[in-house]
Amino acid sequence: MSFSDFNLDARLMRAIAEAGYTTPTPIQAAAIPVALSGKDIVGTAQTGTGKTAAFVLPILQRLLQAHANAPHHARFHRALIITPTRELAEQIHEAIKALARHTRIRSAAIYGGVSASPQEKALREGVEILVATPGRLLDHIDAGLAKLDRIAVLVLDEADRMFDMGFLPQVRRVLSHVPRQRQTMLFSATFPREVEELANRSLREPQRIAIGVSAPAVTVTHALYPVPHHLKLDLLVALLRKADAFSMLVFTRTKHRAEKVSRALARQGFAATRLHGDRSQNQRQRALQGFKDGKYQVMVATDIAARGLDIESVSHVINFDIPDTVDAYIHRIGRTGRAERAGDAFTLVTPEDNGMVRDIERALQQPIERRRLEGFDYGSAAAPEQPQGQAKSQPADKRLPRTRPSNGRLNDRRSGSAHRPDDTPRRRSVR
């Protein structure tokens, strides 16, 4: 299949070529013809699969066709894309700008945390495509600035993330301002019940398109690195040194831990930055841009801050802390192995993480390889509760206990130990 099979406008074809896309990705091959036919779509695809272009190209095509028959001084918002985070809104907006560069179609990113006036200007001018987070959009709707009564295409992107972040009530409110007669596309990596309900309520006879159902891009190599708690930071440093890649994304569970780990890495000589919700929009943008430009080799991030980011060629995702949910795992490693490039996803695990590991293996429908980092001194460790040597040869079910710790927290058995390296984040104290 090639892009010319979609019969897209020549101006879009030019932009596609200039973006360097030669062949449609699987989600594009599956979704673009359906979207062009005007049908509703429920797409199972995570970021990194090329899904942005899969909905942006049909939107642009449709708007170009409508434009051909409309006087161009009459500008209205015609398409609305709702996303969970500002970073993602910004990213989609950039993708639209690139693909629409030879057209007069304009887009605006609408999100909170920054001055509202440029956004208000865009709204007054009636840009054709709005890419918005639900909260700020509602503010503009309430203020009478955003008028959604001409919206013909609606996209709900990363619906599961919006649900996780508690945005569904706001999304429903936005929906009540959009005409019923419209095309709707909903994308989600996973489908919790609430997202299914949202899909049932807001889409009409949607075509379901599943690419890599709830599973990460196949090019990602997963590995678990069992490690006692107090050696986590040392192991991270050793792994990063060994990988020596140009762009490595490290995830921690909390903002505070992101801050601590990033500082510790900087002390170890890494060009490290951090992305989390306690940083200003400006700081986050600088961190992200610096990471993209190669100024920073390592970026330490929390789930929410890194959600849906399109960072090209992240070679390694390292989970310093295992995520709290399987979905979060899938989203995190969606940052690597993007659009068919290979990537590595390493997760540091302590014995307390075994329940979560089992859940992840179940979702992936395969055991994840356990590795020991050669040359790393595990010697000062407290006796591991799970003999590492045995782990590899046994099937996942035998290898792992059946239950998670009831309090869901990781216990640091050596809390207060004199062996703890100074930089090791103390779990209790940093939570």
- Which residues are at the interface with ligand AMP (CB under 6 A)? 21, 23-25, 28, 47-53, 310, 312, 338-339
Q: How far is CA 280 from CA 100, 283, 329, in A?
A: 30, 5, 25
DSSP structure string for 262-295: HHHHHHTT--EEEE-TTS-HHHHHHHHHHHHHTS
Q: How far is the CB of 107 from ligand AMP (least distance, A)?
A: 15
Q: Are 48 and 25 contacting, i.e. CB atoms less than 8 angstroms apart?
A: no
Using the minimum distance from each CB to ligand AMP, give the nearer residue, 21 or 378.
Answer: 21
Query: Whose CA is closest to 206, among 162, 159, 267?
Result: 159
Q: How far is the CB of 91 from ligand AMP (least distance, A)?
A: 7
Using the minimum distance from each CB to ligand AMP, give the nearer residue, 55 or 191.
Answer: 55
Q: Are 177 and 148 contacting, i.e. CB atoms less than 8 angstroms apart?
A: yes
Using the minimum distance from each CB to ligand AMP, give the nearer residue, 82 or 239.
Answer: 82
Please state the φ and ψ torsions of residue 332, each to the nearest 5 degrees: -60, -50
Using the minimum distance from each CB to ligand AMP, give the nearer residue, 48 or 58.
Answer: 48
Q: How far is the CB of 64 from ligand AMP (least distance, A)?
A: 19
Q: How far is the CB of 165 from ligand AMP (least distance, A)?
A: 19
User: Hey, what's the torsion of the CAs at 264, 266, 272, 275, to 10 degrees?
Assistant: 40
Q: Are 288 and 247 contacting, i.e. CB atoms less than 8 angstroms apart?
A: no
Using the minimum distance from each CB to ligand AMP, give the nearer residue, 310 or 352.
Answer: 310
Q: Which two tokens stand for residue 232?
A: 């986590």
Q: How far is the CB of 24 from ligand AMP (least distance, A)?
A: 5
Using the minimum distance from each CB to ligand AMP, give the nearer residue, 31 or 146.
Answer: 31
**Which residue number has the CB closest to ligand AMP?**
52
Q: How far is the CB of 427 from ligand AMP (least distance, A)?
A: 33
Q: Are 274 and 286 contacting, i.e. CB atoms less than 8 angstroms apart?
A: no
How many whole angstroms separate alpha carbon 31 and alpha carbon 39? 10
